[in-house]
Chain A
Amino acid sequence: MNNVIIIGSGPAGLTAAITCAQKGLEVYVIDEYMKPGGRLLGQLYEQPDGTWWNGINESNKLFQQAVDLGIQFYLETAVFNIEKKDNRWKVYTDKETFQTTNLLLATGAAEAPVPIPGWTLPGVMSVGAAQVMTNVHRVKPGNRGIIIGINVLSSAIAMELKLAGVDIACLALPKNNQITHESAHPKKVLDSLLHVAHMAPSSFVKLGSKLMKNNFMKELGVTFFPRNGVKMWDIPIQLKKAVIEIYGEQEVAGVTIASISSKGEVIEGSEENIAVDFVCIAGGLYPLGELAALTGCPFHYIEELGGYVPLHNEQMETPVEGLFVAGNITGIEGAKVAAAQGRVAGLSIAERTGQHQLEEELKDAIKQVADTRKNAYIQFHPEVESGRRTVQMEWEEYWSKREQII
């Protein structure tokens, strides 16, 4: 018998599990992947203080701590439905059906696709898939690749691929169409990159980001952005080139790339071919809320948080009784924020099981989330705090309008 089931064993799920177990709760953790750690597993980067953040080590530490606390893990177990019956959650998986009174969804995020002609060829993968192959399975996705889509995630993974000895021809934009939209617009992309420029080891980029605080300078920045790109970790970042096609007979053989105007329009006659044996597409992350959606939990679209997020409060409760959320399902942020949210969710669940005197701890944990967010090295969206405030406002509006859903 358990007190809580946690779906997802990433930083949020594991931290929540540990918190619950420390409060004496029986905890089950379910994850569809074969290893615990979630997206934490793929992370590998140098921190501002010069030490390396190795996601595999971080995952192992959390997992070991959880196992020592007696937490039960069900890995390689896919949840395909959840249902509430007689005030208990039924969690249907491809292995068995579980029941619980408290359910935490820590399902993280998924990658958004970027359609490019030829993108269904074998050898085309999401940038996250290339990261998992390289950092988790230690298999090279190919010898030479190109990354389509320039954002925080793709530039970090480009560096990791390089560390693993995989050649990256460049990072370029996708061709502009009704789906790629802003991700194909040089100025919009530059805009979103400016706030992560401090990560760039290139002083040109750092200096550039200071100069480009206003719109006029940004316009100039895009206009004068070098045709051959700016190099980060020795990889050219091509803000003014777009991949217009991926070609190959049976599998990827290369891409056709063309120069684009500062508005993203292809300049005729500038096409050239680049031979590669794999292609990564990087459309960014969106919160994976499918299970929450099945419960009838209300959702709201919040651009700054990466898409539709289930309504929740600072205690990580949803309006659905006994349903909690933590981590990227609530909005796209880094692993440390996710872990801090996991702790909050764990304490809220412990409180719901009847434990007292957790108010102070819960208050501290909530503050910890805000502090972690403020000090985060990487912000996936510069306005993430405003997105968080929107959720709070929606939460209050929701309660002012109606009674709790049962």
Chain B
Amino acid sequence: MAECEMIICRCEEVTYQELLDTAITYNCSARELKLRTRAGMGYCGGRTCRSMVDQVAKQVGSEQSKKSISLKYQAPIRPVNFVDLGGEGK
């Protein structure tokens, strides 16, 4: 398997090459890279690829602030049933 075809975001099937190309073309922040490629926006909420999306943006995209988290966290931070989410569960 070639490095360019390597999957970085498993949930949304985003490859390494896609991330690199996007970050270079648009000089992306981590957040913009996420929004353009959907990396980190799948089922796991970016638990697997978050740090890699960050790293690509840092290496080939735009300067990142150290004062705040680059990719926002949003609830639910773990996969949860709708019934539990709505408070109708146990």
A residues in contact (CB < 8 Å) with B: 32, 78-81, 92, 94-97, 110, 112-113, 115-120, 175, 177-179, 181, 245, 247, 283, 286, 289-291, 293-294, 298-302, 307-308
Interface residues of B in 13-69 (CB under 8 A from A): 16, 20, 47-49, 51-52, 55-56, 59-60, 66-69
Given the interface pairs A80-B77, A113-B49, the reply to whether A179 lies near B90 with Cβ below 8 Å is no
A contact residues around B20 at 8 Å (CB): 178
A293 B72 Cβ-Cβ under 8 A: yes
| Residues on the A chain within 8 Å of B47, using CB | 110
Q: Is B78 within 8 A of A80, CB to CB?
A: yes
Q: Which residues of B contact A112 (CB under 8 A)?
A: 51
Contacts of A119 in B (CB 8 A): 6-7
23 pairs of residues in contact across A and B, judged by CB atoms under 8 Å: A80-B75, A80-B84, A81-B76, A94-B81, A112-B51, A113-B48, A113-B49, A115-B6, A115-B16, A115-B52, A117-B1, A117-B6, A175-B3, A179-B16, A179-B52, A179-B55, A286-B51, A291-B77, A293-B69, A293-B72, A293-B73, A294-B75, A299-B69
Q: Beyond A115-B8, A286-B51, is A294–B77 a contact (Cβ under 8 Å)?
A: yes
- A residues near B69, Cβ cutoff 8 Å: 289, 293, 299, 308
Number of interface residues of B (CB under 8 A): 37
B25 to chain A, nearest CB (A): 14
The answer to whether B51 touches A290 (Cβ under 8 A) is no
Bound together, the chains give a CA A293 to CA B73 distance in angstroms of 6
Please give, as numbers and ranges, the residues of chain A lying within 8 Å of B3 by CB-CB distance. 117, 175, 177
Q: Are the C-beta atoms of B10 and A120 separated by less than 8 Å?
A: yes
What 8 A-B pairs are tightest by C-beta distance, nearest first? A81-B75, A80-B76, A293-B73, A301-B66, A117-B1, A178-B59, A80-B78, A78-B78
Cβ–Cβ contact A117 & B76, under 8 A: no
B interface: dominant SS: loop
- CA A308 to CA B20, docked complex, whole Å: 23
Q: Which of B10, B49, B72, B78 contacts A94 (CB 8 A)?
A: B78
Q: Which residues of A contact B2 (CB under 8 A)?
A: 117
Q: Are B80 and A78 in contact (CB under 8 A)?
A: yes
Asked whether A179 lies within 8 Å of B80 as measured between CB atoms, the reply is no
Contacts of A120 in B (CB 8 A): 7, 10
Q: Contacts A97-B87, A293-B69 given; 7 further ones with Cβ under 8 A?
A: A80-B75, A80-B77, A80-B80, A117-B1, A177-B16, A301-B66, A302-B66
* Cα(A92)–Cα(B80), bound, Å: 10
Closest to B65 in A: A301
Pairwise interchain contact A290-B77, C-beta atoms closer than 8 A = yes
Chain A residue nearest in CB terms to B76: A80
A298 touches which one: B16, B55, B56, B68 (CB < 8 A)? B68
With contacts A113-B51, A178-B20, A181-B59 taken as known, whether A245 is within 8 angstroms of B75 at the C-beta atoms is no
Q: Chain A nearest CB: distance from B75 CB in Å?
A: 4
Distance in angstroms from A346 CB to nearest chain B CB is 25
Nearest B residue to A78, CB-CB: B78
